[in-house]
Amino acid sequence: MDLIQNTPDISAYLAASDVIDHEHPLVRTTAATLSADAPDAYAYAKAAFTFVRDAIPHSYDTGDLQVTWRASDVLGRRTGICHAKSHALVALLRARGIPAALCYQKLGVVHGLVAVKLPGEERWARQDPRGNIPGVDAQFRLDREQLAYTARPECNELDYPVLFAEPHPAVLQCLREAVDRPHLWQLLPTDL
């Protein structure tokens, strides 16, 4: 699948915002810790991915009722759904000058992913920091995708090819409006 930037300016995929708050001290400290043992951008990106995937549980898996959406809150509270975890990973990547985008799949609801563009790579590579559970084995890969889920067209599922510099407004609105995770499940969009 050809991935399409929703803005041609690569600097948009390095920018900080209210959601992707990579200038926040907690994001900066976490990025510094992860980069200590990372000799290059690839090693750092893989370490950041593994950290978000493994050290920040998906709130559904743990039964956590909190809804997080800002990257620093995801890191601070150590919880989030796929979208929130994607925001955290994008912030950690951008904190080290690695272009990162948000992208989505249409499954039963819209599922959040990340795309990364490492130095020397011609194409973006999608990654899924959702968190592994039995039957899910997402891995950081550049040679081929190994996401948590594969979209099944026969079930009306699909991969959206657009790479967003900021969260899609429909996703961000439901994250901000949800009072808890069960409420969030009622609000999550089923399509973009």
Contact, 4 vs 162, CB < 8 A?
Answer: yes
Instruction: Give the per-residue pLDDT at 1.
Output: 87
* Residues 192, 182: Cα–Cα separation, whole Å: 21
Instruction: Give the per-residue pLDDT at 181.
Output: 93
Residue 55 within a domain: yes
Q: 10 Å Cβ neighbour count for 36?
A: 9
Q: Tell me the pTM.
A: 0.97
Q: Per the structure, how many domains does the chain have?
A: 1
Give SS3 for 12.
helix
Residue 135 within a domain: yes
pLDDT digit string, tens, across residues 36-60: 999 999 999 999 999 999 999 999 9
Residue 87 within a domain: yes
CA 68 from centroid of its chain's CA atoms: 13
Q: Sort 187 into a burial class: Cβ within 10 Å, 0-12 / 13-18 / 19+.
A: middle
Q: What is the largest CA-CA distance in the chain?
A: 45
Residue 166 within a domain: yes
Cβ contacts of 17 within 8 Å, gap of 6 or more: 166
pLDDT digit string, tens, across residues 91-142: 999 999 999 999 999 999 999 999 999 999 989 999 999 999 999 999 999 9
pLDDT digit string, tens, across residues 3-34: 999 999 999 999 999 999 999 999 999 999 99
Range of the domain at 29: 4-187
Instruction: Give the per-residue pLDDT at 71.
Output: 98
Residue 11 within a domain: yes
Cβ contacts of 177 within 8 Å, gap of 6 or more: 187
Residue 192 within a domain: no
Question: What average pLDDT does the structure give for the chain?
Answer: 97
CA 190 from centroid of its chain's CA atoms: 18
Residue 112 within a domain: yes
Tell me 180's DSSP state: S
Q: Looking at residue 74, which CATH number applies to its domain?
A: 3.10.620.30
Residue 93 within a domain: yes
Contact, 180 vs 66, CB < 8 A?
Answer: yes
Instruction: Give the per-residue pLDDT at 133.
Output: 94
